[in-house]
Amino acid sequence: MLTLALLCEMFLAADWYAFAAVIPFISETLQLDPAQAGLAQGIFALTYGLGMIVWSQVSKRMTARGMLLVGLAGTGLGMIAQVYVQSYGQLLALRLFVGFFDAAIFLGNMKLIIGWFPQARRGSVIGLILAAYSLAITLDFAVGIPLTIAFGWRTFFGILAAGTLIVAVCVVLFTRNGPAHIGISGFLWEPEKDRASNVSLASIFKSRWIIVGGLGISACTMAIAGTATWVIPAYITIHAMPVEDAALIGTLMGLSQVFFLVIGGYVSDRMGKAAMIKFGTVLALLVAVMFTIGTMSALPFVWLVVMALLSGIALFGGGAIFALLSEKYPDELATAAVGYAEIFGILSTFISPWMMGVVIKVSGGSFAGAFLAFAIAEAVMLAIIVALARETGRVHNGQVVGSTSRG
């Protein structure tokens, strides 16, 4: 189940960030300016956010398998159509279409993890899921750019579409929703939390933790979207980096994210989730400051590599965020809580590349100004998280104990 979840997450992210990886090539084909390119990357988040609302509403009734299948099938069909776009309007429309179904993949994955893993392991497991997300972005750059140079970006999109549909077939054949689905009736990793079958989804918003989780996600996704979209164009423009080196920088940035997400997920199972979220947001702010300084003047290539290798620390607290929400809410509401919190992150994913693109255009090409705006946004979110994320007692995660009894 973990392998399937990793595959689903990889194609979710690959389909999302394929455009970011090959922006210069698509911009040349469709004659896009920086603001249009930033909007095309970020607009995906609008229907992804709408999808989070819709799929969160049905998450109590729909199985993980069903959500994953619908999400992958819709995304795959959208990617096929995207191969044939001929105008900016068509590109925006299909990015919006794919975004809605990508949301079902994400929530289906979270439901699958909640069904198969105990609370004491969810931080590290979700860290792996998010690392798969970043690994896919890495492969978009490492594989997508050379493939696009050789065969064109339409071929690259077509390969992603085929892979997405193949994973959908794997979901049909192999996905099981939880231990009960393989015949282990009544299996529990730990005593049940209070059941919430008769509780309204609106009750999720009565807790401050939905805000903490949402802003924690925003800090991470803003870092992903901002760096994935504009670091390489900045390197090419300011530091005269050859286009051929874009794949290397994109790969290093992605591997950095993978490394820090895995390590951060492991750490989050062994310390307070709220503390991890605050620390992770501090690191995201430092990354924004690093790139602001790094785009103020020309630097040797070795420093560009170092910044790429350090960029992943912005995601160090990623695994703790969703684990915190599954800890604070009953299992029946946890998937929906994740979906609603993800909407915060989606908004930042939309705003970040677009905002930075607008700053670059208005300022006459100031990448430093764009990354400064990114840093200011991270600082504001950090201040709010610090104010809200105060634990009244220590959370203790005991050892994992499997049981077939009911509590």
**Which among 185, 215, 1 has a CA at the least distance from the CA of 108?**
1
Q: Per-residue confidence at 328, pLDDT binned at 50, 70, 90?
A: confident
Specify the DSSP element, H or E, that contains 238: helix 209-238
CB-based contacts of 285, cutoff 8 Å, min separation 6: 219, 375, 378, 379, 382
pLDDT by residue (tens digit) across 329-377? 776 677 777 778 877 877 787 778 878 888 888 888 888 898 999 899 9
- pLDDT-above-70 percentage for the chain: 91
CA distance 290 to 293: 5
So what's the pLDDT on residue 233? 86
3 state SS for 337-356:
HHHHHHHHHHHHHHHHHHHH
Answer whether residue 36 shows pLDDT above 70: yes
* pLDDT value at 269 more than 80: no
β-strand partners of 279: none
Contact 213, 337 (CB under 8 A): yes
Mean pLDDT of the 30-52 span: 81
Q: How far apart are the first and last CA of the chain?
A: 24
Contact of 75 with 105, CB cutoff 8 Å: yes
**Most confident among 2-11, 130-139, 312-321 (mean pLDDT):** 2-11
| Exposure letters 7-17 (e unless 16+ CB within 10 A, then b) | bbbbbbbbbbb
The confidence score (pLDDT) of residue 52 equals 82
Neighbour tally for 299: CB within 10 Å? 16
pLDDT for 403: 37
DSSP secondary structure code for residue 188 in this structure: B
Enumerate residues 6+ apart whose C-beta is below 8 A from 237. Answer: 365, 367
Q: Which residue has the higher pLDDT, 8 or 405?
A: 8
Mean per-residue pLDDT of the chain: 82
The pTM is what? 0.70
Question: pLDDT by residue (tens digit) across 282-298?
Answer: 999 999 999 999 888 88
Q: 117 — alpha (psi -120 to 50), left (phi > 0) or beta?
A: beta
59-61-64-68 Cα dihedral, nearest 10 degrees: -70
pLDDT at site 191: 63
CA dist 389 and 383 (Å) reads 10
pLDDT tens digits, 130-176: 888 878 888 888 888 888 888 989 999 999 999 999 999 999 998 88
Burial pattern 358-378, b for ≥16 Cβ within 10 A else e, equals bbbbeeeebbbbbbbbbbebb
- pLDDT category at 193 given cuts 50, 70, 90 is low
Nearest to 351 by CA among 129, 67, 46: 46
Name the more confident of 95 and 38. 95
CA angle 352-354-356, nearest 5°?
A: 65
Selection from 34, 10, 5, 9 nearest residue 20 by Cα: 34
What's the pLDDT at 159?
A: 94
What is the DSSP-derived secondary structure letter of residue 407? -
| The two structure tokens encoding residue 228 | 């994935």
pLDDT band at 324 (very low <50, low <70, confident <90, very high): confident
CA dist list (Å): 154 to 15, 41, 93: 13, 16, 17
The residue with greater pLDDT, 191 or 69, is 69
Give the Cα separation of 81 and 17 in Å (integer).
Answer: 16
Query: Whole-angstrom Cα distance, residue 210 to residue 214?
Result: 6
**Tokens at 330, concatenated:** 């009953």
How many angstroms separate the CA atoms of 6 and 126, rounded?
10
Return the amino acid letter for 359.
Answer: V
Residues in the chain: 407
Nearest to 118 by CA among 193, 199, 6: 193
Percentage of residues in the chain having pLDDT higher than 90: 22
321 vs 26, residue with greater confidence? 26
Residue linked to tokens 């203790």: 396
- Report CA-CA distances (Å) from 185 to 99, 156, 174, 181: 36, 44, 19, 8
pLDDT score, position 340: 80
Q: What is the pLDDT of residues 44-82, one digit of tens each?
A: 878 887 888 888 777 777 888 899 999 999 999 999 999
Instruction: Give per-residue pLDDT as tens, 97-137.
Output: 998 999 899 889 888 888 888 877 777 787 788 888 878 88
